[in-house]
Structure 1
Amino acid sequence: MLNTITSWFLKRRINQIEAFVNDPHQVQERVLKELTQAAKDTEIGRLYNFAEVKDYNDFARNTPVVTYEDFEPYIQRAREGERNVFWPSAIKWFAKSSGTTNAKSKFIPVSNEALEFCHYKSGKDMLCLYLNNNEGAQLFKGKSLRLGGSKQLYEQNGTYFGDLSAILIENLPFWAEWSCTPGNKVSQMSEWESKLQAIIAEAKNENVTSIVGVPSWMLVLLNRLLESTGKKHLLELWPNLEVYFHGGVSFVPYREQYRNIIPSEGFRYYETYNASEGFFGIQDRNNSDEMLLMLDYGIFYEFIPMDSFGTGEEKVIPLSEVELGKNYAMVISTNAGLWRYLIGDTVRFTSVVPYRIKITGRTKHFINVFGEELIIENAERALQKACEYTNSSIKDYTAAPIFMEGKEKGGHEWVIEFERAPDNLEKFTEILDLELQKQNSDYEAKRYNNMTLNMPKVHAARVGLFHDWLKGKDKLGGQNKVPRLSNSREYVEELLGISHKQDLKV
């Protein structure tokens, strides 16, 4: 009975989703008007004359595109308790995020409006879309295994900061805990290894029907769980498990490993696009690798074509002007007071009726030292093909340029930790290189006859290298991510340095 009633309630939202699918531009215009009118009497609103904004052109003409560093002074004032700086309601919560392994932390404002009309609304929509696509779903006959951040909340100047997941758990209604495992106390534990053991102890005896979390860290938890229980796969432990809602990092490198531990053709995977700054997209069809851009969460979207990004020809466009197949940097204005904020992600539209997207990478995470413009999407498709050809699978990886020295040509250097290593690393490298050339014509041109780039150099990392690297930075678990591509050698050098020290000890 509970499953039937809850499913019926959640599925009612589908009519509202269809409304913004059918009239996306009008919905986005309404969102922009509501946002600027709400914030017109804030300091930012007065500075950029929000009261006079009649349409998108007014807004774009008066308001600059900003990065976190540009906006940080305003955020700092809000963190110190000052009100009405960039959003009219008091900002009590700040999601602490450092993106990948950067030392500098970001503190992203999370308003009550963002909590209710973006983050929590998206959670309901995720279930709504899944339930409407799967009439026989029995999610609410069991519990959802959740794996969030491993940091608690901290108070400073009357405001609070911590992982977004900790903020969401702190503000959930009391009854929400009943449908999840582990409970709030374990979910907010700080120490990663202890937290894993506590989750396993609690979850292994539950009837888990869904799992929610970042693929890389969830895989660590699930493998530990299988080791602890002696089960061969998860369906032996949880026979009613039916869906995995995942996001945070690309699922491509982990897909095969999940299929091994959840051996069911009927099991569903649903991707989401969520961040500290907001919740942006949800997979709206079974067996798809695209996400529906969610247009009524109090977020107004703009895009910068990546072929002009960071140049004197850079142009910012609204949703109505995007084109299929192009790579865009995403710019958002939100109901937490971020205005024309460059979030740092890049996306590609796979459909404009309705608007569906794929995440292609980060504005700062690519390799373009030699004009090759290699992005994460290229890398992960090529790695997937190399794994298929060599019967291998990858746990983690990062790549960086090898800079030219004298007459020596440049190249790319990869550090890859394999879940199942290829029998022949040289063959793996050869296939990776060929697939990168297929994915990226600029890379292919630079590789032609070794004109600019030599063959990639691939290191097979020892087991646990990335874990140890992240542990040394206090970044185990939660939303922490390994930077996949970089124009600098910082990450590769650190990883190789750790590996070299280990070799010397042996």
Structure 2
Amino acid sequence: MPIINSIISMFSSKRLTQIEYFKTNPVQVQRDTLDELLRTAATTEYGQKYDFASILTAEQYRERLPIIHYEELAPYSERLMNGEQNLLWPEPITWFAKSSGTTAAKSKFIPVSKTSLEECHFRGGKDVIAIFNNLYPDAQAFNGKTLALGGSSEISKTNNNCRYGDLSAILISNTPFWANMMKTPDQSIMLMGDWEEKIEKICETTIKEDVRSLAGVPSWFLTLINRILERTGKDNLHEVWPNLELFIHGGINFTPYREQYKRLLPDPKMKYLETYNASEGFFGLQDDPSDPSMLLMLDYGVYYEFVPMSELGKSRPKALLLEEVETGVNYAIVISTNGGLWRYMIGDTVQFTSTRPYKFKITGRTKLFINAFGEELIIDNAIAALNRACEQTGATVLHFTAAPVFMNENKKGAHEWIIEFGTPPSDPETFADMLDKELQHANSDYEAKRLLSLQRLILHVARPNLFIDWLKEKGKLGGQNKIPQLWNDRTHIEELLKM
């Protein structure tokens, strides 16, 4: 075992025991988390409004506090950004994670406390290292540099005591100096605001580094990887960094990109671990390379509830406690955190694959779906169908979006897709046929509506860089900004069709 791996093992053995404890005692750990959150925040404005001190059970908490969205959180964030304190959490809140979720114009500013940074986000990063080291004790991934590709927004000051930026920028700005010594490029490049300039600087400064691991969003990393190969004239990334063996990824579903990464990173020693780290907290990580599901991290100061999709849209949706969830059901996540979020619906949907321990996969977002005809197509269905169509045709996909074509008196409705291919199919119409059939296979509601109210999907093959140009036009190029892959109206697709 390499010396650095031995050191990691020594420092992480206690933590691995703690992880095993919450895996076998999930309900108790979550109850303890809720009790600690309520006790800590009892004297805040929010805590006094809902009398946290008198809440004794999870059921009381669920009944007393409403589920909120960003619209209800925004007034508190604005007051905090203007200097008020002790509103949601007793610690001074000076950092805010700027998030747009999809490409909506309105930005969200999520309060980030010192405790949530240390006990949630950074603990998650440490646990990734501990678990990987435990899985692969002879790996050499930590003997060199980690190339972390973060958001392309600069840290901005709104007043003397308040700063905001992408979550990745906040994490970079608060990372201890010793941890930064293991990363590349340096902070000045990682925090650059101009995405295209940042890509060029990263290429210039990291090509000759001993990069052994990557960390970031798969779609944006493809942009960087292709630019590095273009500059070096190499065929794959192992020819640039021969010791590269780990990609820690998150932010989007990896399935559509897997085949491209196999081609760009062909060495069999290459390993992948998925994480679920959002602006609101670090929620899960992959602890078994043979299982694509992620372990729900239960002791990060985050208390979880889950709303069945059938409850969405109701004025008072019922949220389930952890012990009430079932496998194979789609839920919207509701969280209460040590950053001062209280029964906050973050917009992501998950499906549990196991309850012993609690493991899950991300299935989409509460807004990323198409249900114009009762078909209830979620992103998980769409990606599964897209992946199978690619397997049958040898195609690969870089970016895509889909939206409904609404019925009129003379014509059935349809789903309209724009796909930018990495490797295009030989016949796009054959691909469209296959994709349509696979959507029916993945979603019985879509299959039923195809017999009644829907015609075969419409496919447009996008020109190169269409989606990148669209994001650039919106000022949202790079980092944590994501393309809305499914949308229930035609707002985004009409803009893309014009381009």
Following superposition of structure 1 onto structure 2, how do residues 448-487 of structure 1 map, counting pairs within 5 Å? Answer: 448=451, 451-487=452-488
In 1, Cα distance between the equivalents of 2:143 and 2:319? 47
Q: What CA RMSD, in Å, does the superposition of the two structures yield over aligned residues?
A: 1.1
Name the residue aligned to 1:63.
65
In 2, Cα distance between the equivalents of 1:231 and 1:352? 45
1:140 shift after superposition: 2.2
Name the residue aligned to 1:91.
93
3-state DSSP class of the match of 2:178? helix
In 2, Cα distance between the equivalents of 1:10 and 1:187? 28
1:240 shift after superposition: 1.3
In 2, Cα distance between the equivalents of 1:220 and 1:198? 13
Name the residue aligned to 1:504.
none
Following superposition of structure 1 onto structure 2, how do residues 125-144 of structure 1 map, counting pairs within 5 Å? Answer: 125-144=127-146
Residues 203-228 of structure 1, C-alpha deviation per residue, up to 9 Å, x if partnerless? 11111111000000011101111111
1:287 shift after superposition: 3.0
1:40 shift after superposition: 0.5
Aligned length: 496
In 1, Cα distance between the equivalents of 2:259 and 2:379? 19
Following superposition of structure 1 onto structure 2, how do residues 278-297 of structure 1 map, counting pairs within 5 Å? Answer: 278-297=281-300
1:11 shift after superposition: 4.6
Name the residue aligned to 2:18.
16
3-state DSSP class of the match of 2:311? coil
**TM-score w.r.t. length of structure 1:** 0.97
Name the residue aligned to 1:324.
327
In 1, Cα distance between the equivalents of 2:485 and 2:247? 23
- Amino acid across the alignment from 2:125: G
- CA, structure 1 residues 432+359, in 2 after alignment: closer, same or farther (shift >3 Å)? same
In 2, Cα distance between the equivalents of 1:289 and 1:134? 17
1:7 shift after superposition: 4.3
Contact 1:63 1:340 in 2 (8 A): yes
In 2, Cα distance between the equivalents of 1:288 and 1:219? 24
1:238 shift after superposition: 1.4
- Amino acid across the alignment from 1:491: H
Name the residue aligned to 1:412.
415
- Amino acid across the alignment from 1:184: Q
Following superposition of structure 1 onto structure 2, how do residues 340-359 of structure 1 map, counting pairs within 5 Å? Answer: 340-359=343-362
Residue of structure 2 aligned with 1:34, choices 28, 33, 36: 36
1:407 shift after superposition: 2.7
- Amino acid across the alignment from 1:258: Y
The reply on whether 1:491 has 2:492 as its aligned counterpart is: yes
In 2, Cα distance between the equivalents of 1:246 and 1:487? 27
- Residue range with higher mean Cα deviation, 385-394 or 1-10: 1-10
Runs of 5+ in structure 1 lacking a partner? Answer: 499-506
1:360 shift after superposition: 0.2
Contact 1:49 1:62 in 2 (8 A): no
In 1, Cα distance between the equivalents of 2:237 and 2:12? 27
Residues 131-176 of structure 1, C-alpha deviation per residue, up to 9 Å, x if partnerless? 1111211122111011001111111132111111111111111111
1:354 shift after superposition: 0.2
In 2, Cα distance between the equivalents of 1:209 and 1:380? 29
Name the residue aligned to 2:109.
107
In 2, Cα distance between the equivalents of 1:264 and 1:10? 28
1:62 shift after superposition: 1.1
1:484 shift after superposition: 0.6
Residues 258-288 of structure 1, C-alpha deviation per residue, up to 9 Å, x if partnerless? 0001112331110001100001000010132
In 1, Cα distance between the equivalents of 2:387 and 2:289? 21
Contact 2:308 2:330 in 1 (8 A): yes
Contact 1:212 1:244 in 2 (8 A): yes
Name the residue aligned to 1:149.
151
1:24 shift after superposition: 0.3
**TM-score w.r.t. length of structure 2:** 0.98
Name the residue aligned to 1:243.
246
- Amino acid across the alignment from 2:78: Q
3-state DSSP class of the match of 1:13? helix
Name the residue aligned to 1:503.
none
3-state DSSP class of the match of 1:18? helix
Name the residue aligned to 1:307.
310
3-state DSSP class of the match of 1:29? helix
Following superposition of structure 1 onto structure 2, how do residues 46-445 of structure 1 map, counting pairs within 5 Å? Answer: 46-157=48-159, 158-311=161-314, 314-445=317-448
In 1, Cα distance between the equivalents of 2:291 and 2:147? 23
Contact 1:11 1:132 in 2 (8 A): no
In 2, Cα distance between the equivalents of 1:70 and 1:276? 17
In 1, Cα distance between the equivalents of 2:237 and 2:402? 32
In 2, Cα distance between the equivalents of 1:419 and 1:95? 32
1:3 shift after superposition: 4.3
- Amino acid across the alignment from 1:477: G
